[in-house]
Chains A and B, each alone.
Chain A
């Protein structure tokens, strides 16, 4: 018993020292170990299957869906989103665009999907599709188009939203993501007001989260940031979330995409 206590004590001390010395190194090592078998691969496989399968009231596949580079072009689409689409005359991110395709091509009810909780029903399918589509641009560099006025407007709106302090704690996105080299507890925080580097921030999501065993899309990532900011609930695919995507995506120009990443 005594030996156990001693051993446990020693373990806790070394664990504590380790945590202080190199929390991020440890996490990086852990990630590297897991990356060989990132569970995101399962979602990728599911997403590819969903893309090619005939589904929905119209029983057609998504293979004619235009993600910005022409109908059916998947490779390279992810690193140029969000962007303006002529058919909807809106700036859309990957997930809201997928819902448009599911509605127009397959006959699903887009508003219903937008209202569905993350991880459930067709919303879970949108996440799997986004995971596969992101993976098809793995290793490519972010290069969002900014030629269209609406794209430029959404960048400016996204920037304003990023710095909007509100709620009972006065938090904005910039409270945590406005400076280099900061942490919350032991968690490193990327500075998202500029290019934070390859595979960091916008260039990492969708990602598989080890801590809760869930695949998180960018929309869900933003949703949980807003929850922690004590803001009200952002609608799925809302202009505010898309504008933030444009702001972060344009700032990340030249960063290499590693999505779907694996996170703590």
Chain B
């Protein structure tokens, strides 16, 4: 009840009517950004594990949102800064152990569960991979928002996981899964490791699914 009262008060305070009172022309882009932030704050509430603190945008998301709204790519300097900051945040696996079990990886890739307000807090998260990518040939229900990952390791010449020539691809793939924005400032791919969606062990299993020559992905 208290929360509801508070919401109504905030909503009234930031009502569009109040904000545009006396204006006969459209507010500036910066003013519209501010209005959007205020309206966002007044329009959502906590539900289950999905709290309103999820609406706080980090620099990468703020800059990409601005570029998307403007309909043009951000300047190169900003993009490079976002990529560098995200790259620096990548947590590399202890002892250089990058590869888990592809069978576990397949299960994680299949699952789209976790972190919605209707998921139990603390339940295991899925990777959502098939929602956007083709991965193994066997799974025909795949999305097309991301590129096909079928034969991912094979195409990149990974025939032996422990050969020195495989190291660069393995490291890049880990970094991309951990924090996709390290390589492309406004990539639409979730930052699975960086944002705590997947654990280090889960990322290892996904790595095996994509890179292990024995994985069905590389058959």
A243 interface residue (CB < 8 Å to B): yes
Q: How far is the CA of A92 from the CA of B33 in the complex (A)?
A: 21
Distance between A105 CB and nearest chain B CB, rounded to angstroms? 21
In the complex the two chains form, is B50's CB within 8 Å of A230's CB? yes
Contact A239 B11 (CB under 8 A): yes
Q: Determine the distance from Cα of A152 to Cα of B116 in the docked complex, in whole angstroms.
A: 32
**Range of interface residues on B (Cβ < 8 Å):** 35 or more
Q: Which A residues are CB-close (under 8 A) to B40?
A: 161, 164, 240
A143 to B17, CA, bound (A): 22
Q: B17–A232 contact, CB under 8 A?
A: no
Q: Does B44 contact A (CB under 8 A)?
A: yes
Given contacts A149-B23, A166-B55, A239-B11, contact A230 B116 (CB under 8 A): yes
Do A227 and B140 touch (CB < 8 A)?
no
How far does the Cβ of B183 sit from chain A's closest Cβ, in whole Å? 14
* Cα A191 to Cα B131 with chains together (Å): 17
Interface of chain A residues 151 through 194 with chain B (CB within 8 A): 152-154, 156-157, 159-161, 163-172, 174-176, 178-179, 181-186, 189
Instruction: State the CA gap A68–B73 with chains docked (Å).
Output: 39
B78 within 8 A of A: no
Query: Which residues of B have CB within 8 Å of A27?
Result: none
Tell me how far the C-beta of A39 lies from the nearest C-beta in chain B, rounded to whole angstroms. Answer: 24
User: Quick check: A239 and B39 within 8 Å, CB to CB?
Assistant: yes
Q: A216-253 interface mask toward B, CB cutoff 8 Å, 1 = contact, 0 = none?
A: 00000000001110111111001111010000000000
A163 near B140: Cβ-Cβ < 8 Å: no
Name A232's contact: one of B11, B14, B46 (CB within 8 Å): B46
Once A111-B8, A230-B116, A243-B39 are accepted as A-B contacts, the answer to whether A89 and B17 lie under 8 Å apart by CB is: yes
Cα distance, A132 to B46, chains bound together (Å): 32
CB–CB B44/A235 < 8 A: yes
**Is B142 an interface residue, CB under 8 A from the partner?**
yes
Interface residues of B in 168-219 (CB under 8 A from A): 188, 190-191, 195-197
B163 an interface residue at 8 Å Cβ cutoff?
A: no
Known contacts A232-B46, A235-B43, A235-B44: A170-B26 contact under CB 8 Å: no
Q: Which of B121-155 contact A (CB under 8 A)?
A: 128, 130-132, 140-145
CB atoms of B47 and A233 under 8 A apart: yes
Q: Does A61 contact B (CB under 8 A)?
A: no
* 8 more A-B residue pairs beyond the given contacts A153-B26, A239-B43, with a C-beta to C-beta distance below 8 A: A153-B20, A165-B61, A165-B65, A184-B131, A230-B50, A231-B44, A234-B43, A234-B44
7 contacts between A and B (CB under 8 A): A163-B65, A164-B65, A165-B57, A166-B57, A166-B61, A168-B195, A235-B43
